[in-house]
Amino acid sequence: MEGTHMATQIKPDRGMVEVNQEECKGCGLCVDVCTPKALQLSTGLNRYGYHPAEYAGHGCNGCGLCFYACPEPGAITVYKRTLAEPVAA
Amino acid sequence: MSEFSVLQQKAESFYPNYGRKAELQHQTHYCPGCGHGIISKLLARAIDELGIQDRTILVNPVGCSVFGYYYFDVGNIQSAHGRAPAVATAAKRARPHSVVVSYQGDGDLAAIGTAEILHAANRGEPITVIFVNNAIYGMTGGQLAPTTPVGAKSTTTPYGRSIFNEGYPLHVCETLASLEAPVYLERVAIGNIKGILQAGKAIRRGLENQVNGLGFSLIEVLSPCPTIWKTTPQDAQKRIREELSKIYPVGVFRDLTGDRGARPAALPAPTLNELPALLELDAAHTFETPDRRPTQAVDWRIKVAGFGGQGVLMLGEVLAEAGLAAGLDVSWLPSYGPEMRSGTSNCHVRLATHAIDSPLISRPNVLLALNEPSLRKFVHTVEPGGWVLYNADTLPPDCRRDDVNFVTDSFTKIADGIGDTRVGNIVMLGALMEAAHLVGDEQVDAALAHTVKSARWLEFDRKALVAGKLAARRIVQGVVQ
């Protein structure tokens, strides 16, 4: 997922989100709280019949609010960039 | 990936997988958009941050809040409905170093558990209460809670809550703020991310107060229940912001954290070695009880019945003590009630070589009837082959049975002969031992010596025991096994 879009961006994303598709129940609270609109509900269904949230692949600013908005303990993991410049840029 | 590091992830205080149905061990029981999930997360985060996972005890009562023990890798206790603050009190007093958290819903805390929360708060128990208020009974399908808004429809108020029928919404923080003892009371609302972050701070504060040894802290969280409110997670949060926060204003209702010093911890419980001295026992006394149960299995189910003052309960107590001395498992259950006032009183004693399931005896194999009403009441409940001792010379004809052993005599008259009518019960005990040999003589004597404190009475009782034995030798009526 990363790498493909990186080259086209001027400024690298400050963060990244991972959504555990099988833990997510598709409530959408993380989508609502994401100011850069980097999260969306999948059009597909997970094994439990929910439309799980997914990371759009870019745009995360690493604010971490989606983590707190999410009611599942481990559905969302938020990462922040540690290096000033992406290695592949 | 190498240029990213984790900012937020599942808290350490959660189990990696939950011990629930195999297919679902990676997710909680909660519905999509449920406030419990968010509050649990904030609580787990605070536990992580304070580094108290190994000394946290979570008390999980009834309702959706019960599920905590599936998720939290801390000490867990499940309590009866509403009783979490009482259980938390016990846990905290027994383990002052532990951080005890009572996690309760509004149906639990504000309805059936009103007494427990009020008194725990009034005693200033140094526990932390997380009060999840969703203004409804969620788990059971949406019945009215004391916190339900006026006019709101629920399954038990189909026309809406009426102040004349169900009263006004109960304000827990405001109520507890009228007490002197609580140290910290705050209400937060997780209707948006700002409220969620504030709730996180408040919950952490509540735990910190306990770590610092301060008193009672309660954090009330207005929390969405999208399923029972029949709305989307988004509209549920909107309802928190626009409706519930108006009825239940958020804010700090009590903050004495700066004024109150640390509360003295409860005294540690004495160790096992210190107990003999406290109980005034011989210093060499040991609490290790070797298994002295007789090899032959017995299960004596004894009912003692008579009028108040005839020594019914005392007779039962001596029997139970004698059973203990014989290495048996015993139970002694006095039956109080209106009969304690001028009617039959009775007690149930069980002596068995196995663990006792129920102390209640409805089919006795020994009946000690100290008067006629008691005999009439219970003689037909006695198991065939059992023993009936009756305190009169002759049996009433309608109480006769040919499948039980009767020993009838005026035991009270024998007692009169000894010098006090009140030892009639012990005369009967002597007769029972002679007839049915429940336990050995020396064990009965030890039980008497243990139960009877006065030397004068002990002498009377010993005489009564012998007289009873002699009487039983003379008279054994009916079928003999």
The tens digit of pLDDT for each residue in B218-228 reads 999 999 999 99
**Measured between CB atoms, which of A25, A28, A73 is closest to B234?**
A28
Spatial strand order of the sheet with A76-81 comes to: A15-19, A76-81, B4-8
Hey, are the CB atoms on A73 and B10 less than 8 Å from each other? yes
Hey, are the CB atoms on A72 and B71 less than 8 Å from each other? no
Average pLDDT over residues A6-29: 85
Structural domain contains residue B269: no
Structural domain contains residue B17: no
Structural domain contains residue B191: yes
**Which chain A residue has the Cα nearest residue B16?**
A74
Task: Give the separation between CA B270 and CA B169, rounded to whole angstroms.
Answer: 45
Q: Is the pLDDT assigned to residue B338 strictly greater than 60?
A: no
Hey, are the CB atoms on B32 and A50 less than 8 Å from each other? yes
Confidence of residue B480 (pLDDT cuts 50, 70, 90): very low
Hey, are the CB atoms on B7 and A68 less than 8 Å from each other? no
Look over chain B and give the mean of its residue pLDDT values, rounded to a whole number. 92
Counted domains in chain A: 1
Most A CBs within 10 Å: which of B1, B2, B10, B225, as the mutation test of the A interface? B10
Structural domain contains residue A22: yes
Hey, are the CB atoms on A27 and B33 less than 8 Å from each other? yes
pLDDT digits (tens, 9 = 90+) for B57-114: 999 999 999 999 999 999 999 999 999 999 999 999 999 999 999 999 999 999 999 9
Other beta carbons within 10 angstroms of residue B106's beta carbon come to 28
CA triplet B127, B270, B282: central angle to 5 degrees? Answer: 160
Q: Is the pLDDT assigned to residue A32 strictly greater than 80?
A: yes
**Which chain A residue has the Cα nearest residue B234?**
A29
**Which chain A residue has the Cα nearest residue B33?**
A27
**Measured between CB atoms, which of B3, B9, B28 is closest to A81?**
B3
Give percent of chain A with pLDDT exceeding 70: 81
Beta bridge mates, B323: none
Give the count of Cβ contacts less than 8 A between chain A and B. Answer: 104
Average pLDDT over residues B22-32: 89
User: Do B445 and B407 contact (CB within 8 A), yes or no?
Assistant: no
pLDDT at B270: 84
pLDDT at B387: 95
Q: CATH code at A47?
A: 3.30.70.20
Average pLDDT over residues B49-53: 97
pLDDT at B345: 81
Sign of torsion over alpha carbons B72, B78, B79, B80: positive
Q: Give how far B127 is from chain A: nearest CA, Å.
A: 24
Q: CATH code at B366?
A: 3.40.920.10
Q: Give how far A67 is from chain B: nearest CA, Å.
A: 7
Hey, are the CB atoms on B4 and A77 less than 8 Å from each other? no
- H helix or E strand, kind and range, residue A53: strand A53-55
A-chain residues near B72 (CB < 8 A): none
Least reliable range by pLDDT among B122-126, B245-249, B339-343: B339-343
What's the full length of chain A, in residues? Answer: 89
Average pLDDT over residues B408-426: 91
DSSP state of B27: S
Say if residue B319 is in the same domain as residue B468: yes
Structural domain contains residue A38: yes
pLDDT at B36: 97
pLDDT at B189: 98
pLDDT digits (tens, 9 = 90+) for B178-227: 999 999 999 999 999 999 999 999 999 999 999 999 999 999 999 999 99
Hey, are the CB atoms on A77 and B34 less than 8 Å from each other? no
Structural domain contains residue B287: no
pLDDT at B337: 56
pLDDT digits (tens, 9 = 90+) for B356-372: 999 999 999 999 999 99
Instruction: Mark out chain B residues that contact chain A at CB-CB < 8 A.
Output: 1-11, 14, 26-28, 30-38, 40-42, 44, 71, 193, 196-197, 200, 226, 232-234, 237
Task: Give the separation between CA A80 and CA A64, rounded to whole angstroms.
Answer: 9
Task: Give the separation between CA B437 and CA B210, rounded to whole angstroms.
Answer: 58
Q: Give how far B46 is from chain A: nearest CA, Å.
A: 13
Counted domains in chain B: 2
Q: CATH code at B33?
A: 3.40.50.970
Helix (H, G, I), strand (E, B) or coil at B317: helix
Predicted interface score ipTM higher than 0.95:
no
Confidence of residue B341 (pLDDT cuts 50, 70, 90): low
B351 lies in which domain range? Answer: 299-478
Q: β-strand B344-352 against B299-307: which pairing, if any?
A: antiparallel
Structural domain contains residue B459: yes
**Which chain B residue has the Cα nearest residue A62?**
B7
Task: Give the separation between CA B221 and CA B235, rounded to whole angstroms.
Answer: 17
Question: Which residues, including other chains, have CB under 8 Å from residue B260's CB and lie 6 or more apart?
Answer: B183, B214, B215
pLDDT at A4: 52
pLDDT at A85: 55
User: Do A33 and A69 contact (CB within 8 A), yes or no?
Assistant: yes
Q: Is the pLDDT assigned to residue A88 strictly greater than 70?
A: no
A54 lies in which domain range? Answer: 13-72
**Which chain B residue has the Cα nearest residue A66?**
B193
**Measured between CB atoms, which of B3, B8, B200 is closest to A86?**
B3
Say if residue B194 is in the same domain as residue B309: no
Q: Give how far A41 is from chain B: nearest CA, Å.
A: 13
Structural domain contains residue B2: no
**Which chain B residue has the Cα nearest residue A35?**
B193
Structural domain contains residue B282: no
Say if residue B229 is in the same domain as residue B371: no
Name the amino acid, one letter, at B276: P
Structural domain contains residue A79: no
Identify the domain boundary among B223, B255, B287.
Answer: B255
User: Do A42 and A54 contact (CB within 8 A), yes or no?
Assistant: yes
Identify the domain boundary among B235, B255, B275.
Answer: B255
Other beta carbons within 10 angstroms of residue B320's beta carbon come to 22
Q: β-strand B184-189 against B217-222: which pairing, if any?
A: parallel
Structural domain contains residue A42: yes
**Measured between CB atoms, which of B1, B26, B31 is closest to A22?**
B26
Task: Give the separation between CA B420 and CA A33, rounded to whole angstroms.
Answer: 86
Structural domain contains residue B85: yes
Say if residue B93 is in the same domain as residue B186: yes
User: Do A31 and A39 contact (CB within 8 A), yes or no?
Assistant: yes
User: Do B430 and B469 contact (CB within 8 A), yes or no?
Assistant: yes
pLDDT at B267: 79
**Which chain A residue has the Cα nearest residue B37?**
A71
Hey, are the CB atoms on A29 and B234 less than 8 Å from each other? yes
